[in-house]
């Protein structure tokens, strides 16, 4: 039986994929969360992990559906015999300035990016014991700076900071930790979308504004998530950590 196991939502691409691969390399069995209609193939992530000698399987984990998340958790427990944490990474964004933003877009983004994290933590927490850990993927957008045209995304990502601080107080008596990472400009399918995000040209322009001189990679975030999950961060909970190459050190935050 595997010694540690983890659920990662939104794990078929980008930061989620890098996190799943990184966790597997650290000895976790990984439930690679996906959803019906995901344009990326979670089985490719599973194959990468298994080819490297790790253990993983793909599981449908739609964060908009509490029952489906509960089923995903049960599948992970059946497969690995335990769960030691989760990375709540699933998220969406859409360019929607306030003057054209409708209730449906607002509600969908808040439901996935904020409420979906709550559902993930709620489903997993009862199965964790001392040493368990959550990492929530927020963003510098909303949690540290604004982002024009993305008020629902920014509101959700800011809300996650209040969520993890309060959840930390509830989970601490059980020896369970929860923290948030705030990625900056990271090259991923989401940021490469030229309609709803910066696209390749926007990423190229961003590099010159980042003190470390480059756009981040998913692995830059995954490595920090790995630290926060590990025993090396055993006395860290309720905290947020920007992974942005110094961007918010240069900007007002």
Residues that are catalytic: 153
Whole-angstrom Cα distance, residue 129 to residue 132?
6
Compute the half-sphere exposure of residue 36: CA atoms within 13 Å on the CB side of its CA. Answer: 4
User: Alpha carbon of 8 to those of 68, 117, 148, 181, 202: distances in Å?
Assistant: 14, 11, 29, 14, 28
Helices (H) and strands (E) in the chain, counts: 10, 7
- Residue 183 class from Cβ within 10 Å (0-12 exposed, 13-18 middle, 19+ buried)? buried
Whole-angstrom Cα distance, residue 160 to residue 138?
6
Each residue of 3-36: b (16+ CB within 10 Å) or e?
ebbbbbbbbbbbbbbbbbbbbbeeebbbbbbbbe
Write out the two tokens for 157.
């990502």
Q: Where are the alpha helices (DSSP H) in the chain?
A: 14-25, 42-51, 66-80, 103-110, 116-124, 140-143, 151-171, 199-207, 218-229, 247-250
Q: Which of 85, 41, 35, 42 is nearest to 64 (CA)?
A: 35
Whole-angstrom Cα distance, residue 47 to residue 34?
15
């Amino acid at each position: 039986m595997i010694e540690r196991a983890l659920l990662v939502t939104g794990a078929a691409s980008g930061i989620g994929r890098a996190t799943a691969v990184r966790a597997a390399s650290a000895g976790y069995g990984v439930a690679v969360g996906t959803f019906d209609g995901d344009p990326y193939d979670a089985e490719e992530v599973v194959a990468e992990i298994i080819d490297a000698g790790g253990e993983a399987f793909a599981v449908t984990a739609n964060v908009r559906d509490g029952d489906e998340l509960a089923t995903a958790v049960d599948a992970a427990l059946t497969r690995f015999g335990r769960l030691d944490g989760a990375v709540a990474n699933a998220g969406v964004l859409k360019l929607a300035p306030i003057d054209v933003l409708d209730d449906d877009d607002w509600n969908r983004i808040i439901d996935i990016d904020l409420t979906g994290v709550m559902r993930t933590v709620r489903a997993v927490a009862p199965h964790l014991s001392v040493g368990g850990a959550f990492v929530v993927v927020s963003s510098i957008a909303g949690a540290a700076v604004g982002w024009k045209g993305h008020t629902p995304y920014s509101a959700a990502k800011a809300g996650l900071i209040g969520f993890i601080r309060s959840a930390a107080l509830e989970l601490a008596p059980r020896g369970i930790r929860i923290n948030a990472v705030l990625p900056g400009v990271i090259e991923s399918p989401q940021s490469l979308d030229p309609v709803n995000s910066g696209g390749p040209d926007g990423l190229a322009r961003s590099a010159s504004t980042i003190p470390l001189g480059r756009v981040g990679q998913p692995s830059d975030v995954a490595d920090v998530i790995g630290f926060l999950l590990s025993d090396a961060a055993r006395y860290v909970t309720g905290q947020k950590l920007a992974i942005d190459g110094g961007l918010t050190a240069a900007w007002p935050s």
